[in-house]
Structure 1
Amino acid sequence: MIIFPKIQYILYMLPLNFPPSLLKLYNTVVESYIWSGKRPTFSRSKLYAAKKNGGLSLFKIEWYQYAFSLSQLTKINNLQEQLPSWVKIEEVVVPTSLEAFLTQRGRPVPFKDLVLTFVQETWMGAHQLIKSSPYLTPKSSIWYNKKILIGKKPVIWEKWAKAGINLLCDLLSENGLMSFDEIKQKFNLRQEEKWDLLYTCYILVKKMYNCGKGLLPS
């Protein structure tokens, strides 16, 4: 237990995925210490179960690893929270905003960045755990979104991304989709890009109709 707080400190500072071999070694050493090298007398799951459920409430490092990462990722989605210090560093290499990158699939991770890889896997995994789609929320990315397809493929329009249009909420207001004039004024788009916007809005309207009003900001 002396080692665990030190590992916690690292996990809290950076959302990094510990090598599976290291986690397995840690768990093996802890369990070996508990059983004094003897054969376990009950299921391994009971070690980590809550005491009220008959367990020993042992620390499970994987749970803390994901809990710390999710805690930091939720701050990225909450404008009122102070962003973790590592966000500015990662946004130097991320193609769009880090917030948008969380829900982009099929886009190569820049430089095989370990932090970006893990935070994306963590965000997707958390939605899968609660059976919620990460692709159809106001904070979902428009680009490389497997639910927004043109020609059966996800898209990326660099001009829009550079102008600051990256999330679905960038095209939404309290009343639904913004008009082209509102978006043009907000992001300084050119008039000839109106047809690109109309086609994108057509796809979004279909998704909103199929999913109810879940895309509308609350």
Structure 2
Amino acid sequence: MRSVASRRSFMSAAGIAAIASLSIAAEPAKASRPSCNPRLTRLIALYDRADAQCERFDREVEMPARDACRAAIDALPSEPPPPHVESRTTFENAFGETARLSTSVPGLVASAPRWLSDPAFAGPELEDWRQAHREILEANEKREALIAAQTEKRRAIEAEKRSRFRIEAIAARSADLARRRDNLADAVLATPAANLTDLAVKLEFIERLVSPGQVTEHEFTFISADIRRLAGEA
């Protein structure tokens, strides 16, 4: 019901509104027009009450709880990641320099398994080079495990804060309220218009629900059915 309409559905709804407006204008004076269907009036009143309840719950309960929870989480101390590690073994690089590998080079760590499994890099003259890569792979695996443990610990702490502020329960209640409001909106649209007064009331209701650029096939279907019914086509 809240999805953005295609140009076709918007134009169709706009055309329906224009036709209905012309028809209503052609009716007798307002004092002699038929009154609105009491069921339609009651459903709109129930919708307005449900909509106000949603806004009040959002303003007074959900947003304050979420803000307080976020502030509590932001206030938690940040645990720095474990330091990078260098290989114990050194080797002579292509420039004749003594080199040492480090986990701080992501590309090196990622390519190490491929180099170690490549027969072209086997041989006693490259054993120090190969050993340095083995050490850096082992060191990186241990470092990644520590980071994963830190992440899991942080998630557990954040989950405890969300539980403390009842975020999931509040979100579920908010969803229930919104679902009830939306069901009432659909009930208003689904109530057959018995006359043009009912149709005008439903059009005003739609204008309160969505802006012209957001009218969808959902609203169009109900209003189209009303107009056809009033025109004797259904």
Q: Same fold (TM over 0.5)?
A: no
* TM, length-normalised to structure 1: 0.24
Structure with the larger RCO, 1 or 2 (CA within 8 Å, 6+ apart): 2
Scaled by the length of structure 2, the TM-score of the pair is: 0.23
More helix by share: 2
Greater Rg by CA = 2
